[in-house]
Amino acid sequence: MRRIAERLTGHARDLRNEGTRPERILWRLLSRYRPRFTRQLVVGPYIVDLACRTAKVAVELDGDQHALAQGYDARRTAFLEAEGWVVARYWNCDVVENAAGVADAILRVVDSRIETHPQPLPSREGRTRQPRSRTFPSLKGRG
């Protein structure tokens, strides 16, 4: 039994291969950052345009067709949020006109979702260094 329906993985693969211009622009900017991003991730019955699995941030790039599909988008967002994801939506025209600004906004959302240790480990500052070599007793007289 497959975890993900075969038709969804095939469709996600097709979407990765035929990415829109805004998706390619944003992918070029985000793909070099860590935690890693992935394209066209299947989450339940939906395919997310870009995602950071570690932070559970789903990035949706909306074109003109989404202005008419608000009910579908609302159901999709509700499902993803119920699964613990944060959905960040941007219009395609915003990505094309200000890709760096959109990428920065996405990275801030990811950063806010990553938990770091509240107190970093203490540094080695102030510690005295132990000598590396030992002093051996003189071998004179042995012979």
pTM score > 0.75 for this model? no
- Give the closest residue to 27 by CA, choosing from 112, 36, 94: 36
pLDDT for 1: 44
Share of the chain above pLDDT 90, in %: 43
CATH numbers and ranges of domains, the chain:
20-113 (3.40.960.10)
Q: How many CB atoms lie within 10 A of CB 79?
A: 15
pLDDT (tens digit per residue) in 72-127 = 888 999 999 999 999 999 999 999 999 999 999 999 999 999 876 556 566 655 55
